[in-house]
């Protein structure tokens, strides 16, 4: 295996081990509870969402990153609280992260218009790296002499202030700082620490007419000792059955290549969601990096959302889309 692949492996280890530190899902605009436990369902209907994401690295690398996620949102009878589960499996080459969270949220009606939601989540990540399967230039390299299998705890919290027109949400998905040694070798300096970070999202709904609504939003990703990164989103809803939108995602770091400062991670995204039936919605997104020369050929993401309606003849519309 070429040395470049070994370097890429270390990068994948860092990104996969703490993959929940970034809003990697393009369709969080349709599934906000994936980044903030307080943003549960605004209706009294249980919902299950399944997301599959695959990134194409290009070049001579194998093991394109992919992620599978299942999110279950179960509002309780009084509509003031709810519980949820988020399960995920993240694969990048020989590195795998599998975990889950239990979610609880509570809604307090401040007045006739304002609602304050508060949520917490707790769970774990099982980080695994099959290092012994890597073909090395030096087969005696002690850094790849044994595999890694570790459990990492995670606790997060969030709040959301909203009415029928706008929403302001803040979340800290990872409150526990944990250290992860990428190799079980005390003499190797391959240790990474997850940094504390915040997500802050503001969205507003404009109704152009009885059929069309515009919903701009902005997501700020604030990480320790790193410049703030932003997602600028705009989606349009047509009769609450078809949504079309796009995003521009800015980077949170810079990459120096040939003495030229170029942003690493900027991307354009396009997404859509279609209501197939009163119970079922289908979503798709595609993003492509703006920086040329990166080992990133874009990514595809598919979402299926199944809502358990009380009355099959009734179509429930999330107030966030009104």
Question: Rounded to whole angstroms, what are the CA distances from 199 to 72, 171, 222, 236?
Answer: 21, 5, 6, 23
pLDDT of residue 20: 47
Structural domains of the chain ordered from first start:
3-321 (2.40.160.40)
Burial zone of 114 (CB within 10 Å; 0-12 exposed, 13-18 middle, 19+ buried)? exposed
- Which of 49-53, 266-270, 297-301 has the least mean pLDDT? 297-301
Structure confidence at residue 216 as a pLDDT band (50, 70, 90): very high
Structure confidence at residue 48 as a pLDDT band (50, 70, 90): very high
- CA 99, CA 151: separation in Å to the nearest integer? 9
Strands 115-129, 95-109: pairing kind = antiparallel
Structure confidence at residue 267 as a pLDDT band (50, 70, 90): confident
Indicate if the pLDDT at residue 199 is higher than 80.
yes
pLDDT of residue 11: 44
pLDDT of residue 50: 93
pLDDT of residue 14: 47
Query: What residue ranges in the chain does DSSP mark as E strands?
Result: 46-55, 66-75, 81-92, 95-109, 115-129, 148-162, 166-172, 179-181, 191-193, 197-204, 206-207, 212-223, 229-238, 242-249, 254-257, 260-263, 267-275, 280-289, 299-308
Q: How far is CA 148 from the centre of its chain?
A: 24
Among candidate residues 248, 253, 256, the one with its CA nearest the CA of residue 288:
248
Burial zone of 211 (CB within 10 Å; 0-12 exposed, 13-18 middle, 19+ buried)? exposed
Indicate if the pLDDT at residue 193 is higher than 90.
no
3-state secondary structure of 319: helix
Among candidate residues 84, 118, 113, the one with its CA nearest the CA of residue 101:
84
Q: What is the pLDDT of residues 154-191, one digit of tens each?
A: 899 999 999 989 999 999 988 887 766 655 555 555 56
Among candidate residues 119, 73, 121, 81, the one with its CA nearest the CA of residue 99:
121
For the record, the structure tokens of 222 come out as: 């604030």
For the record, the structure tokens of 88 come out as: 């995920």
pLDDT of residue 185: 54
Question: Which ranges of the chain does DSSP label H, i.e. alpha helix?
Answer: 3-17
pLDDT of residue 190: 57
pLDDT top residue among 111 and 288: 111
Q: What is the pLDDT of residues 238-260, one digit of tens each?
A: 998 999 999 998 875 544 344 34
> What is the total residue count of the chain?
322
Q: Answer whether 284's CB lies under 8 Å from 271's CB.
A: yes
User: Which residues face 68 on adjacent strands?
Assistant: 52, 89
Kindly state the average pLDDT of the residues 12-18.
44
């Amino acid at each position: 295996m070429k040395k470049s692949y070994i370097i890429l492996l270390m990068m994948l280890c860092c990104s996969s081990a703490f993959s929940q530190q970034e809003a990697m899902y393009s369709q969080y605009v349709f599934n906000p509870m994936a980044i903030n436990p307080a943003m549960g369902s605004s209706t009294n209907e249980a919902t299950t969402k399944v997301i599959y994401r695959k990134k194409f690295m290009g070049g001579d690398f194998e093991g394109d990153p992919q992620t599978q996620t299942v999110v279950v949102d179960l509002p309780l009878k009084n509509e003031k609280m709810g519980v949820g589960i988020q399960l995920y499996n993240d694969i990048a080459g020989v590195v795998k992260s599998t975990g889950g969270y239990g979610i609880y949220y509570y809604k307090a009606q401040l007045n006739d218009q304002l609602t304050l939601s508060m949520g917490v989540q707790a769970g774990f990540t099982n980080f695994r790296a099959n290092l012994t399967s890597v073909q090395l230039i030096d087969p005696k390299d002690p850094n790849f002499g044994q595999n890694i299998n570790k459990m990492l705890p995670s606790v997060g919290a969030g709040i959301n202030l909203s009415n029928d027109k706008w929403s302001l949400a803040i979340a800290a998905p990872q409150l526990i700082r944990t250290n992860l040694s990428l190799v079980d070798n005390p003499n190797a300096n391959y240790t990474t620490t997850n940094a504390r970070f915040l997500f802050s999202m503001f969205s507003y709904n404009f109704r152009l007419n009885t059929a069309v609504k515009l919903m701009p939003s902005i997501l700020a990703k604030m990480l320790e000792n790193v410049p703030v990164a932003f997602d600028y989103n705009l989606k349009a809803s047509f009769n609450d059955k078809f949504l079309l939108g796009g995003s521009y995602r800015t980077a949170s770091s810079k990459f120096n290549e040939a003495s030229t400062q170029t942003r690493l991670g900027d991307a354009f995204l396009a997404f859509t969601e279609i209501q197939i039936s009163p119970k079922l919605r289908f979503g798709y997104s595609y993003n492509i990096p703006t920086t040329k020369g990166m080992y990133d050929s874009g990514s595809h993401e598919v979402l299926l959302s199944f809502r358990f309606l009380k009355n099959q003849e009734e179509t429930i519309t999330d107030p966030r889309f009104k």
